[in-house]
Homo-oligomer: A and B are copies of this chain.
Amino acid sequence: MLYLVGLGLGDAEDITVKGLQAVRSCSRVYLEAYTSILTVGKEALEEYYGKELILADRDLVEQGAEEILKDADVTDVAFLVVGDPFGATTHSDLVLRAVHSGIPYRVIHNASIMNAVGCCGLQLYNFGETVSLVFWTESWRPESFYDKICKNRTAGLHTLCLLDIKVKEQSIENMMRGKKIYEPPRFMTVNQAADQLIQIIKRRREEGEELGMTEDAVCVAVARLGAADQAIRTATLSQLASCDLGGPLHSLVVTGRLHPLEVEMLRMNAEPSALQHLHLMDQ
């Protein structure tokens, strides 16, 4: 049996009882280590589960699936994913490989940012399409997420923006030379995300484009959701460009039309000067 176990969002104790039982019963346990992170590392999880964990980086999951699935028809193997197992494409791929190899699988769900973001006070059924922001490079500065946010806003919907994570990335130089030297992990902050959005808005304003959102858009920044030191901050986009929410992971929500009950929830964590913008939309 292949168990796909969601670890939730905070620390070792955010696993479900069912998930913990599965982990403890498995002969091999992999920890997916490139699409998200908890506030604790591999060692803390190993101690809590009483199990050795095998780190599964992108290479292993995408090219070494046979290794993960080896003997899983006769023994139990667990594949641990921060959040819920079906946040990222690559895990569908692992499931399909299991099924095609005649290996049964079972999913043990948990919270992911996709639903836990509701704790900021915005109603989940008022969210439109989720977008991803990637670290811009000199030559690659995609803007499609901005258009999706504007489309959601036009429809009155909020947008959850998932922010880029770079774990075990090679520099282009090292990749060209075939050197397996990896850059330190990078996690996009809310500031960086806000800065990207503001750059897009400025450029489009200069080009005379009609703007679907401006620097005054009410946004909600969340950091380390589900952890004891989680942070939630409601502010305008320009305010978020200079706020400090501490360590990873960060996510950003750009609001659409706000319901009075949503406004009241947002006020709890609002920058005082953002309240006027909240008030303006409070109808």
| Residues of A bordering B, CB below 8 Å | 6, 8-10, 13-18, 20-21, 83-87, 89, 92-93, 95-96, 99, 107, 109-112, 114-116, 118-119, 121, 123-132, 151, 155, 157, 162, 225-226, 261-262, 264-265, 268
- Residues of B within 8 Å of A83, CB to CB, are 115
* CB <8 Å contact, B96 and A6: no
CA distance A162 to B107 in the complex (A): 21
* A116 engages B109 (CB within 8 Å): yes
Residues of B within 8 A of A86 (CB): 115-116, 118-119, 124
Minimum distance in angstroms from A253 CB to a CB of chain B: 13
Please tell me if the beta carbons of B109 and A261 are within 8 angstroms of each other in the complex.
no
A17 to chain B: which residues have CB within 8 Å? 13-17, 20
Given the known inter-chain contacts A89-B123, A128-B128, please indicate yes or no for A111 contacting B114, CB distance below 8 A.
no
Q: In the docked arrangement, what's the CA distance between A190 and B16, Å?
A: 28
Are A13 and B9 in contact, CB atoms less than 8 angstroms apart? no
CB A266 to nearest CB in B, in angstroms, measures: 10
Name the residue on B nearest A230 (C-beta): B107
In the complex, the chain B residue whose C-beta lies closest to that of A125 is: B130
**Given the complex of chains A and B, what is the CA–CA distance between A115 and B132 in angstroms?**
16
Inside 8 A of A124's CB, which chain B residues have their CB? 86-87, 112, 114, 130
Cα A15 to Cα B13 in complex, Å, equals 11
Distance in angstroms between the alpha carbons of A92 and B266 in the assembled complex: 11
**Nearest-neighbor residue (CB-CB) of A261 within chain B:** B92
Q: Which single member of B13, B84, B132 contacts A18 (CB below 8 Å)?
A: B13
Please determine whether B96 and A264 come into contact, CB atoms closer than 8 angstroms. yes
CB atoms of B116 and A84 under 8 A apart: yes
From B93, B107, B129, contact of A155 by CB (8 A):
B129
Q: A99-B268, A264-B96 are in contact. Are A125 and B115 (CB under 8 A)?
A: no
Decide: B9 and A109 in contact? CB cutoff 8 A.
Answer: yes
List of B residues within 8 angstroms of A18 by Cβ: 10, 13-14
Q: Report the minimal beta-carbon distance from A83 to chain B, rounded to whole angstroms.
A: 8
* Residues A118 and B10 in contact, CB atoms below 8 Å apart: no
Given the interface pairs A16-B8, A16-B15, A130-B124, the reply to whether A112 lies near B115 with Cβ below 8 Å is: yes
- Set of chain B residues within 8 Å of A261, measured between Cβ atoms: 89, 92-93, 96
Nearest CB of chain B from residue A221's CB, rounded to whole Å? 17
A125 to B251, CA, bound (A): 14
- Contact A109-B109, Cβ < 8 Å, known A14-B17, A17-B14, A118-B87: no
**A129/B115 in contact, CB under 8 A:** no
**Interface contact B84-A115, CB-CB below 8 Å:** yes
Residue of A96, A99, A111 with most chain B CB atoms under a 10 A cut-off: A111
